[in-house]
A = this chain, B = another copy of it.
Amino acid sequence: MKLNVVKIGGNIIDNSENLHRFLTDFAGLDGYKVLVHGGGKAATQLSATLSIEAQLVDGRRVTDIETLRVVTMVYAGLINKNIVAALQATSCNAIGLTGADGNFIRAKKRPVKTIDYGFVGDIDENSINPQNIAKLLDGGFVPVFSAITHDGTGQLLNTNADTIASALAVALAKLYDTTLIYCFEKKGVLKDINDEASLIADIDPITYEELKKQNIIAGGMLPKLDNAFSAIASGVTAVIIGHADELGHIKHNKTFGTRLSTGI
């Protein structure tokens, strides 16, 4: 059985027209599928209205108890349930989840070293039991995960949505022929970040090393791609990084975005 694990970024969620188009395309994908969504601006806006100051350390949000309340409300409530209702309107049998539900994703609160990130959960290959999620997929449901997990002792935790998507893909690759798809507002991995026509269509581990040597891929894209190749090394068939507007191409067997694979 083929499975697509699709991550949708916050910039798409913030635009209701883009989100609606994306969800229609997602609903149209054949086979098993899982959606993972990030947060968007709604959490930042609600925090501002409630006078909770957003704290960032090294570009990462520090999740104090008030911020955890806000992201639980916005990610697991407002955004997740509106996405589920929109998918249901297209006859996609979505079921909205956090990692606490069904104990699907058990995280560990990040240890305090130099920085206390607060209520942030880290996950690894042991955090997810694929048989547990397979019960939903085999039952005809389409799991929609928000970026909230738990620690198993009653504590909810804020967890990076990209990491959740890749951990789900790696865990489910034990059961299904799994493709991991990151949808965002760019065409994919670009040779020139300012030129959408400079898309790199395929990368395998050998070309990846060359692109890094030549400094064509650098900066913020490196951890994303390292993570993607690590998922492939752990059994995920391919990783696609592409524009949310082009997800529908998959249904018509057309390629889109940048496709990462073993190259074999």
Residues of A within 8 A of B (CB): 46, 49-50, 69, 72-78, 80-82, 84-86, 88-89, 93-98, 100-103, 135-136, 139-141, 148, 150, 152-156
Q: Are A89 and B153 in contact, CB atoms less than 8 angstroms apart?
A: yes
- Contact check, B77 vs A73: say whether CB atoms are below 8 A apart: yes
Kindly report which residue of chain B lies nearest to residue A156, judged by CB atoms: B85
Among B102, B136, B148, the residue within 8 A (CB) of A93 is B102
- Decide if B103 touches A93 in the complex (CB within 8 Å): yes
A74 CB contacts on chain B under 8 angstroms: 73, 77
Contact at A69–B78, with CB atoms within 8 Å? yes
| CA of A51 to CA of B261, assembled, Å | 52
Complex Cα spacing A159 to B139, Å = 26
Which residues of B sit under 8 angstroms from A49, Cβ to Cβ? 50
A78→B46 CA distance, assembly (Å): 14
| Residue numbers in B under 8 Å from A82 (CB-CB) | 72, 156
- A121 to B197 Cα, complex, angstroms: 48
State which of B78, B85, B156 has its C-beta within 8 Å of the C-beta of A154: B85
On whether A86 and B154 interact (CB within 8 A), knowing A81-B98, A93-B103, A139-B139, the answer reads: yes
17 contacts between A and B (CB under 8 A): A46-B73, A49-B50, A73-B74, A73-B77, A81-B156, A84-B150, A85-B155, A86-B154, A88-B100, A89-B153, A94-B100, A94-B101, A95-B102, A96-B97, A135-B139, A135-B140, A135-B141
